[in-house]
């Protein structure tokens, strides 16, 4: 994180020149889940490519926009389209938007993803609250010289995903008439889908869902002192459990089918986080 602080200050100054909003909640929207912005009272939309020092998303269905808006009294900045390690971004680039959110006033991060189900009790379309994660990425956004102005050299990862936020999400799901699953998310680099042997290995070490994102953002958020809520949309069953071959189109199709339930759940939680 060394050397990022000055860039972050420059980026923050530029962004704050485009909006008067001071957000308290940051949201990262995964594949097929960008529809949440339709629930917001949108004030400002900025393309990633226009923001100084900000990395750009290249994946289909990731709009690449920073959206400022509100739900009730909750002021929100949402990444409509996330960044991935497999796109060729350095890990510190994946940390950059989260650090920017913190410098703009965010205290809570809600991160979502499309994931493959490894728990046999899951079915495509389920939503899962992330209770913990296993980092199998070959890199880490916190490696390198540390800047104490951002966070500690050795950040604690105990209860990385906030139990109180998970309980709030479960209460919201129950009120809406469905059960929110719980589970451990395993993060891999991608972009290839996992082999059946890899899935058996990840099941054996306690994984319930697998994907190619979220872990770098969640680790960065905890390093920065943010509370974190993670929600996975189970878009397919993992290799060895699925009956069909995997494709990004099918992932998007399932995610879009679950968008309404996902959006209603997250919108309800976000409203509860208002001042």
Binding residues for a purine D-ribonucleoside: 194, 236
133 catalytically annotated: no
213 catalytically annotated: yes
The catalytic residue among 70, 87, 95, 112 is 87
Residue 194 tokens, joined: 């996992």
The catalytic residue among 212, 218, 219, 267 is 212
Q: Where are the alpha helices (DSSP H) in 59-117?
A: 91-104
The catalytic residue among 79, 84, 89, 118 is 84
The catalytic residue among 5, 63, 86, 140 is 86
101 catalytically annotated: no
CA 77, CA 255: separation in Å to the nearest integer? 22
Annotated binding site for phosphate: 31, 62, 82-84, 114, 213
Residue 31 tokens, joined: 């594949």
Residue 254 tokens, joined: 């399932």
Cα end-to-end span (Å), the chain: 31
The catalytic residue among 24, 31, 93, 119 is 31
CA 268, CA 215: separation in Å to the nearest integer? 24
The catalytic residue among 62, 85, 119, 202 is 62
236 catalytically annotated: yes
Among 194, 197, 193, 196, which residue's Cα sits nearest to residue 240? 196
**153 by DSSP, 3-state: which?**
coil
The catalytic residue among 21, 114, 118, 238 is 114
167 catalytically annotated: no
The catalytic residue among 70, 119, 172, 236 is 236
Annotated binding site: 31, 62, 82-84, 114, 194, 213, 236
31 catalytically annotated: yes
Cβ neighbours for 17, distance < 8 A, ≥ 6 positions apart: none
21 catalytically annotated: no
Buried b (16+ CB within 10 A) or exposed e, 114-152: bbbbbbeebebbbbbbbbbbebbbeeebbeeebbeebbe
The catalytic residue among 24, 57, 213, 232 is 213
246 catalytically annotated: no
**Measured on CA atoms in the order 49, 53, 55, 61, is the torsion positive or negative?**
negative
Any idea which residues carry the catalytic annotation? 31, 62, 84, 86-87, 114, 212-213, 236, 248
């Amino acid at each position: 994180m060394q050397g990022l602080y000055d860039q972050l200050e420059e980026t923050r100054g530029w962004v704050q020149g485009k909006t008067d909003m001071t957000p308290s909640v940051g949201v990262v929207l995964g594949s097929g889940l960008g529809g949440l912005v339709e629930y917001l009272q949108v004030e400002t939309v900025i393309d990633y490519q226009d923001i100084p020092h900000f990395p750009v998303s290249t994946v289909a269905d990731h709009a690449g926009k920073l959206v400022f808006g509100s739900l009730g009294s909750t002021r929100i900045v949402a990444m409509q389209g996330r960044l991935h390690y497999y796109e060729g971004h350095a890990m510190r680039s994946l940390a950059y938007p989260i650090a920017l959110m913190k410098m703009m006033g965010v205290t809570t991060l809600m991160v979502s993803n499309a994931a493959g189900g490894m728990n046999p009790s899951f079915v495509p379309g389920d939503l899962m609250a992330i209770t913990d994660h296993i980092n199998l990425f070959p890199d880490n956004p916190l490696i390198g010289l540390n800047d104490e102005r951002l966070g500690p050299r050795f950040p604690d990862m105990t209860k990385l995903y906030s139990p109180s936020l998970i309980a709030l999400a479960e209460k919201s799901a129950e009120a809406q008439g469905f059960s929110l699953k719980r589970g451990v998310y395993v993060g891999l680099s991608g972009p290839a889908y996992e082999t059946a042997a890899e899935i058996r290995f990840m099941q054996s070490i306690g994984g319930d869902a697998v994907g190619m994102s979220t872990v770098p953002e969640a680790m960065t958020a905890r390093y920065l002192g943010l509370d974190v809520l993670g929600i996975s949309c189970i878009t397919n069953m993992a290799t060895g459990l699925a009956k069909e071959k995997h494709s990004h189109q099918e992932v998007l199709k399932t995610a879009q089918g679950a968008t309404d339930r996902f959006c209603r759940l997250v919108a309800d939680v976000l409203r509860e986080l208002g001042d």
